[in-house]
Amino acid sequence: MSRGVPARRLTLVLGAAQVAAAALLLGFVELALLFWGPAPHPPWVAGLFVAGAWIYAGAGVIAWLRRPGSLMGLLMTAGAFVWLAAGLFNTTVPVLVALGLIVTTLPIALVIHLLLAFPSGRLRTRAARVTVLAAYATALIGQVPRYIFAPGGPLQVEDAPGLVEAGTWVQRSVGAVVVAATCILLWRRLRALAPAQRRVLAPLSIYGIFAVLLIPVTSGIGDVIGAPLTQAAVQLMVLALVPVAFVVGAGRGGFARTGEVDELGTLLGDGGRTELADLLRATLGDGTVELLFRVPGAAGWVNSAGVGAIPPTASGRRGVAPVELAGETIGAIVYDATLLTRPDEVRDAARVVALALDRERLAVELRVSRARLVEAGDAERRRISRDLHDGLQSRLVLLAVQAGVTEGTSPELRAGLEAAIDELRDLVHGVMPAELTERGLPAAVKGLADRMPIGVVLAVEGFEERPAPAVESTAFFVTAEAMVNAVKHARATELTVTLARDAERLGIDVRDDGIGGAGAGNGIRSMTDRVEALGGVLRIESAVGAGTLVHVELPCAS
C-alpha cells in the first residue's frame, strides 16, 4: 500500500464515527424519554445534559482523529457517555434515574482528569494520579449518602435528612481539597513549561479551574435542578464547553496535530520532497524535534547543517531516541520529553525513519567532506602562494637586480625578467592573494576594487573578527569572479559591492548596472559548488537590461 489512507487510519476513522453515532443515538433516546415521559423538570433543562454530551462526543472525536497518540480524545468521548448517564435522573424510568443519581457529579471529576492529563492524555506524576483518583472517589463514593438517605429516590434505604446534609458537607469539603490540589498542580506545571506552550496551556487551565470551581462554589451539580433555571443553564454550559477549550487549545500550536507513525512510511515514499525533520515534527506533534547524525571521523555527531554537535544525552526536558540501522547507531532524534505520551512512540518513529535518516546522513557526510575538500584545497593554495612569493618571486627579483648591477647585460634580458616577475605576481595573486591571508576579506576586496577599471562603491559591515579561512577565501573568490564578470561580460560602468557579516552569516552582494541577462558560466558554476560545499547559497538575478545581482550567503558561525 503505497498511496492513500493507511489501514490503521481507516480503522480509526470508522471507530470514531461509530462512537459518535452511538452518542448521537443515545442522546436522541434520552431526549425522547424526557419529552414524552411525565418528566418532573422542564425538559429543556434536562436537554442541556444531552447537549453537553454531544459537545463532549464531537470534541472527543476531533481530538482523537487529530492526535491518535493521545488519550485525550478517548477521555472526552467517554465523557459524553458520563454526561448522558448523568442526565438520566430527569427521566421517570426508575433504573435509569438510579444510574443518573449515581454518576451525577462524575462530570466534575472528569474535567479534573482532563485538565491534569492534557495534552498527552497521561497522568505523569504520582500527585496527579492521586488527585484524579480522589476526584473520582469524591464524585462516586461521596455521592452515596445523597441518594440512599434522600427521600423519594429509587435507591433510598432510609429517610435521614441529617445524614444527607452531613454527606453533602463531607463531599463538598473533600471536593474543595481536590480542586485546590488540581489548581496547585496546574500552576506548577505551567511554570515548568516553555513560554510557547505556556501561552497555549495557560488560558485553558484557567478556564478549566474556573469551570471546576464554579459548580461547588455556587451549588452542587445535583442541586442544579432546584436552582434558578438560568443559573443551572450557565453552570451546565460552562462545564460542557471544557472539551471545546481543549480542542481549540490543541489546535493553537505548541500541541500541533500529530499523525501516526505508520503514516511516516507512506510520507517518506513521496520522493523526499519534505525534510525528514519536518515530517517527524508533524508526526510527533513536537516542533522542537531535531535530528543528529553520526558521521565517521573526528566530527562524530553533526546536525543537518554538518556542524559538529554534542553527543546527545537525555537531560531534563530533552529526550533522545537513538536511530539504529543494522545494529549500528547512525543518528538520534532529540525531542521534547514533556510533550509526548509514550517514549516508545519516538522509538517506533526512529525505526521507521532509519533508512531515510541513513540517506540524509550520507548527504550530510558528503557536505562535510566537500567542505573539508574546499578547506584542504585552500590551505594548499595558501602554501603554494606563499612558497611562490617567498621563493621563486624573490629569486627572480634578485636575478633582475644582479642583471641590473652587472655592466653589459642586455636590455632584453632585464625586460624579460621584469615581465616574468609581473606574470608571477599575477599568478600568485590568482592562487591566493597575500592581502587576503594577511589582512582579511574587506582589505582584499578593497584592493580588488582599486584595481577595477570601473568605479566600485564598497560597503563593509561587521568584520571585527575574521571568519574561518575557507569561508573567507570562498567569499573572496566569489566576489572577485562576480566583479570581473561585470566588467568582462556585462559592460557595467559601476559596481556596488556589499559585504556584511553577523554571528551566523556572511552575506555578499555584487550589483552592476550592466546589460543583465547573465547565464551561469563555468566560473560561476564552480563558485556555486564552492559555496554549496560550505552549506551556503548563491543566487543570480539578471533580467535583460536590468543589471546583474550576485547574492551569496555563507554560514560562518564560529
Partner 1 sequence: MRVVIGEDQALMRHGLTLVLERAGFEIVANAADAEDVVRKTAAHRPDLLVTDIRMPPTNTDDGLRAAIEVRSRVPGLPVLVLSQYLQRDYAVELLESGDEGVGYLLKQRVADVDRFVADLHRVVAGGTVLDPEVVAAMVGRHRAEEDPVALLTDRQREVLELMAQGRSNAAIAAELGVSEKAIVRHTSNIYDELGLGSSPDDHRRVLAVVRFLSA
Nearest partner of 487 among 498, 495, 479, judged by Cα? 495
Name the minimum Å distance from CB 406 to partner 1: 10
Q: Which of 18, 394, 502, 537 binds partner 1 (CB under 8 A)?
A: 394
Cα gap 101→87, rounded to integer Å: 9
Which span sits near partner 1 by CB under 8 A: 33-41, 220-228, 443-451, 507-515? 443-451
**Would you call 500 helix, strand, or coil by DSSP?**
strand
Name the minimum Å distance from CB 472 to partner 1: 15
Q: According to the binding rule CB under 8 A, does residue 1 interact with partner 1?
A: no
Q: According to the binding rule CB under 8 A, does residue 396 interact with partner 1?
A: yes
Q: According to the binding rule CB under 8 A, does residue 452 interact with partner 1?
A: yes
Return the residues of window 213-242 that contact partner 1 according to CB under 8 A: none
Binding mask 472-511 for partner 1 (x = CB under 8 A): ----------------------x-----------------
Which ranges in 141-254 belong to alpha helices (H)? 144-148, 161-192, 195-218, 229-240, 242-251
Nearer to partner 1, 435 or 509 (CB): 435
Return the residues of window 246-305 that contact partner 1 according to CB under 8 A: none
**Residue 198: left (phi > 0), alpha (psi -120 to 50), or beta?**
alpha
Q: According to the binding rule CB under 8 A, does residue 351 interact with partner 1?
A: no
Which span sits near partner 1 by CB under 8 A: 3-11, 305-313, 383-391, 467-475? 383-391
Return the residues of window 413-442 that contact partner 1 according to CB under 8 A: 414, 417-418, 421-422, 425, 429, 433-435, 438-439
Q: According to the binding rule CB under 8 A, does residue 323 interact with partner 1?
A: no
Nearest partner of 477 among 549, 423, 550, 425, judged by Cα? 550
Q: Which of 189, 361, 367, 389 binds partner 1 (CB under 8 A)?
A: 389
Name the minimum Å distance from CB 423 to partner 1: 11
Given a contact cutoff of 8 angstroms between Cβ atoms, the answer to whether 441 and 476 are in contact is: yes
Name the minimum Å distance from CB 199 to partner 1: 52
- Grid coordinates standing for 96? 435509569
What interhelical angle do 94-102 and 72-86 show, nearest 10?
Answer: 130
Name the minimum Å distance from CB 414 to partner 1: 8
Name the minimum Å distance from CB 507 to partner 1: 23
Given a contact cutoff of 8 angstroms between Cβ atoms, the answer to whether 401 and 417 are in contact is: no
**Would you call 334 helix, strand, or coil by DSSP?**
strand
**Would you call 343 helix, strand, or coil by DSSP?**
helix
Cα gap 508→479, rounded to integer Å: 7
Edge-to-edge strand ranges of the sheet holding 455-461: 455-461, 494-501, 505-512, 548-555, 537-541
Q: According to the binding rule CB under 8 A, does residue 381 interact with partner 1?
A: no
Edge-to-edge strand ranges of the sheet holding 328-336: 300-302, 290-295, 328-336, 318-325
Q: According to the binding rule CB under 8 A, does residue 354 interact with partner 1?
A: no
Q: According to the binding rule CB under 8 A, does residue 411 interact with partner 1?
A: no
- Grid coordinates standing for 465? 573578527
Given a contact cutoff of 8 angstroms between Cβ atoms, the answer to whether 33 and 93 are in contact is: yes
Q: According to the binding rule CB under 8 A, does residue 404 interact with partner 1?
A: yes
Nearest partner of 395 among 414, 417, 411, judged by Cα? 417
State the greatest distance between any 2 C-alpha atoms of the chain, in Å, as a whole number.
139
Q: Which of 347, 372, 446, 489 binds partner 1 (CB under 8 A)?
A: 446
* Residue length of the chain: 558
Nearer to partner 1, 38 or 411 (CB): 411
Q: According to the binding rule CB under 8 A, does residue 450 interact with partner 1?
A: yes
Name the minimum Å distance from CB 400 to partner 1: 3
Given a contact cutoff of 8 angstroms between Cβ atoms, the answer to whether 368 and 299 are in contact is: yes
Q: Which of 159, 278, 387, 390 binds partner 1 (CB under 8 A)?
A: 390
Name the minimum Å distance from CB 198 to partner 1: 52
Long-range pairs of 226-235 with CB within 8 A, sequence gap ≥ 24: 229/42, 229/45, 232/45, 232/48, 233/45, 233/48
Total residues contacting partner 1 by CB under 8 A comes to 39
Name the minimum Å distance from CB 435 to partner 1: 5
Cα gap 307→551, rounded to integer Å: 23
Which span sits near partner 1 by CB under 8 A: 21-29, 257-265, 448-456, 535-543? 448-456
Residue type, 376: A
Name the minimum Å distance from CB 275 to partner 1: 44
Nearer to partner 1, 199 or 395 (CB): 395
Which span sits near partner 1 by CB under 8 A: 22-30, 206-214, 231-239, 411-419? 411-419
Nearer to partner 1, 200 or 400 (CB): 400
Interface with partner 1 (CB under 8 A)? 389-391, 393-398, 400-402, 404-405, 414, 417-418, 421-422, 425, 429, 433-435, 438-439, 443, 446-447, 449-457, 494
